[in-house]
Each structure stands twice: as C-alpha cells, then as structure tokens.
Structure 1
Amino acid sequence: MIRTIFGRVLAAIPVLIGIAILSFFLIRLVPGDIVNVMMGEDFADPAVEAELRRIFGLDQPIHIQFADWFGGLVQGDLGASLRTGRPVTEEIFERFPMTLELAIAALIVSLAIAIPAGIITATRRNSSIDMGARLVSLIGLSLPNFWLGILLILLFAVYLRWVPSGGYASFALSWEHFQFLLLPAVTLGTSLAAVTMRMTRSSLLEVLGHDYIRTARAKGLSERAVVAGHALRNSLIPVITVIGIQLGGLLGGTIIVEQIFSWPGLGSLMVRAIYQRDYPLVQGLTMFLAFFFVFMNLAVDIFYVYLDPRMRQRG
C-alpha cells in the first residue's frame, strides 16, 4: 500500500508541472495585460506603459518570466499580486476558509440526500420509489448550477423572502450565517447528490448480488442487518472515490455559484484576477486548486485502507 501511494505521488508531479505550464501560458493568450486594464483605452502614454511593464516584470522575455515564476513555485513562493502587491498565498488563504465552508456544506447536503436515497432505491429495485428517485436524480444532474441558483433566489429570496439573495456573514453558529449559506450550499449539493445517489445505488446493487450476502440471508439475518452490517460498507468504496473527487473539484467548481450569490471565496477571487489580468494570482490559484485536488485523491487512496482489508494485506 505504501508503495502504491508513493507511486501515485510521483505520478502527480508531472501532472502538476503540466498544469503550471498551461496556467502560465494560457492566461497570456487573453488579449491585454494588467497595464492595459489599468490605463484603459482613453489614456495611453507609451512611456508610462513601458515603465509599468518594467515594474511588473512584463518587459522580460516570456521564457525569463516563466523561469522566474516556476523557480519561485518550486520553493513554495507563488509570487505577489500585481494589483494589490500582497503575496498570493495571503490572498488565497484569506478566501480559502469561505470556499471550504461552502464546499463542505454542499457535500453535507449531497450526502444527506444521496446515501439514504441510494440505499432505499437499491433495496427496492424497480419499484415506484426507485423509478421516481432515479427520475429526480436525472433532473438534478441535468440542471445547470447557475439556472438552479437563480430559481432558488427568485423563490426563497424574492418571493418568499425567507433568506437573503446573496452575501456573506462572518462564520458563526447562528441563524444569520446559516441563511447566507443555505441557498449556495443547496445549489451545489443538488447536482452532487444526483451523482452520489446513482453511484450508491449501483454499487450497493452489485454487492447485494454476492454469495456472502445470500449466505447472510440464509442464516436468518434481517434485511436491515444484511444491508447495514455486510453490504453497505463494501459498497462504499467506489462511493468514497466519487465523494473525494467531488470535494477536490468543489473548490474550483464554486466559481459560478459564488458569483451568483456574491460569496467571497476563491471562485470570485479567480474571476476578479482574470478580469484584472493579475497573472501571478491566476497562476497561484490554479496551482493551489490543482494541488488540493491531487491531495484529495491521495487521501481517498489512504482511506481505502480502512474500508478494504484486502488493501491492508497488500500493503
């Protein structure tokens, strides 16, 4: 098992290097740079532009800029924001708790819906409950986040006025904070629940067909004991994979939802950095999200050890 984890860590290194190269060069394909954004179209002084590019280091050849940035990246230095002058790491970790809070809340909403629904549909296969839940999951999977978010705002914020339409309150275990968190968490959690429910159902159905499940039933165990004590744990392995990938992808997948609900997380920071052509901030955010995604995949692999005894024996 240790050898497998070490191999996956090594395999992630070229992936991260490739992401670093792409993030550096792709953002520079967007027309204009931060100097053009700062000066606008109405005022253009070549001397001032040249001086600003020298200050920002944009007058250097592209390969020199990449070498300087990548050298800092290897040492853990993501550079400084061109717009604010603050270190990129400070900008990221200032917003990271908000995005992480939203991602965890969305994941909780997803699991609260998906796991019970997946178990019920698997144990009542081809029943009306199963067909209805599968239809609802297909609808939830098909709904775009931006459309669902707007609908929720119209219903619960505009018409019913139960919750605010957007914004953020400082983290606290209070109803005020929960009101701001509810709609974006439900918007994100709905599509996640659809995927997790379908995976739980298919995985549990496969496990329920194994010989040891029939043996447990032949011994006289109740259906609840068979499902909860024998089938569910073994069926959770692929579900854990999906959940880990979802959590890793959620940090980068909250961009649209954060914009709709004015949530001050990494997504809104990324949008602002792209609009302002803040190259170090865009590159730093991309690398941070990529590293977190790789870390979550590695954490899922390690968690397998506690779910599957066969992997402990291999390790």
Structure 2
Amino acid sequence: MPEGKIMKALSGFYYVKDEEKVIQCRGRGVFRKQKLTPLVGDYVEYQAENDQEGYILDLKSRKNELVRPPIANIDQAVLVFSAIEPDFSTSLLDRFLVLVESHDIDPVICISKMDLLNDAQTEKINRFAEDYRKIGYPVILSSAKWEDGMDQLKPWLEDQVTVFAGQSGVGKSSILNALNPALELKTDAISNSLGRGKHTTRHVELIGIGSGFVADTPGFSALEFTELEVDQLPLCFPEMVKASEDCKFRGCLHLNEPKCAVKEYVENGEIMEYRYQHYQQFHDEIKSRKPRY
C-alpha cells in the first residue's frame, strides 16, 4: 500500500505527498466512525484511484498533535517574542515553553526588535537570553526587520517540521513571508484598540523551506493549561528535571516538601527565581482548574 504525508487539508480534501507526487485524497468513512480526523503532518496509507486522486485508508501513529493549528508530528516550535512594543514577558514565554514541552516539541526562542532598545534595555534582554540559553534553549536575537534574523533562523528549520507561535502582533506572518515570499500571508495591521495583531488564514498547509517544512498558520492561540496535570508540570521545566534527581522524595512537586533540591537551586541562583515563581503560578492555576465532565 503506498504511503505519504498530508501536506494540506482543505474543504474535506487531504493533499498527500508521496515522494515527488501529490495525490488529492478523501478520508474513509471509517475515520468518522472512529472519531479520527486526519491532520496535516500525518503519515498515512492511501489508495490511488489514478495519478491525481485517491482515498486515505490508514493513519500512522502520531508523536504529537496540536489543536491550533490542527497539525501532527511537529518537531519544533519557533517562539517569536519582541523585545519591546509589546514588551518582552518572561511569564508569557514560560507559558509558551510549558505548552511546547508538554507536547514533546523542541522550542527555539526568537526575540525581535532588538534595534529599538536603548543600552539598558539591550543589557536586560541579553541577560534573559543568557538565562534561557543556560537551560539549554536556543535563543535568536534579531532586529525589527528580521532579514538579519533569517540567517540565524534558517539552519534551525532544516529537516524539521516547524510551527511558529508567540506573542500577538510581533510579526509571525512577516517572518513566514520573509522565509517564503510566495506565501503572501495577510498581515493585518495591529488593532490599536486591542494592541493585538489580527491573523487571517483559511486552511493549514506545510510549506517547504529548504529541507524542512513550516506550518503556514501560527499556533497555540489558547494558553490555558487545559490538558496538563500538576504532576506533569515539573517535567516541563528542564532545569527542574535535572535538579529533582537530588530531591529527597520521588514525585517531589518542589513546593513544600522537605529536602527539595529545586528550592535549594533557586536559593543559590542556579535556577532563576522568576522561572520558579512562574512554576508556582502555573501549579496553582492547574490545581484550581474546574474539573471537566
């Protein structure tokens, strides 16, 4: 049975790439019965009626999936933040990082508009960048125009399936357009009343950039931890995972437990205090979440 990868989903059709050819497929009715929806990024078995059309017969197992954009088997997320206008927020970045980590996706942090900062502001952002690099996250610093950031960013996209996410109004669509001008993504002006960027897309598609693929729709619009449980949260902070090997109790939540190595690391500055504070906030948020039935 031939196999391929769904590159685009539009109006009930799935465009399956098998080496050099793309077959327009419909999903089988059995997927509806099983409450399965084929997603862009899925590896599938299909049956071709002819050179152009066919049916998807089977979905291969996924390593991960997102609801927005509806896409599967993502390798990494490029998290786009601005240094200013809107101001850089470690709290918002940590929220994105937790969501990305919880989906088993590797993050790459991009901070733009560095050219709009004064010396003190630049120093502050550079300090934050170092903090995140110490944890092990790649951090790219760019000007507002992004052309210089492209040379730094492109190598990260090779051989990866990448989704872009991040602050509203920071130019995610502009970056995608700079990567592939043929995209011509609509970048509606920032709505002044809300201070938010408006994004308009109708379907999801994987676009080839070099040897990798990029989703043409920014991801993670909802930032609530609806799927995450409190015992999974510490696993989304890599520096805590490392430190927790020295905690007295297995399954330590690093809050009130005795002989907690994470709290010691925070006290001696090996774990950033603001990261630990965000961890506590997220923990409280998940714990107070209303149960869903």
Normalising by structure 1, what TM-score? 0.23
Higher helix share: 1
Q: Which has the larger radius of gyration?
A: 1
Task: Point out the structure with the larger strand share.
Answer: 2
- Higher RCO structure (Cα 8 Å, ≥6 apart): 1
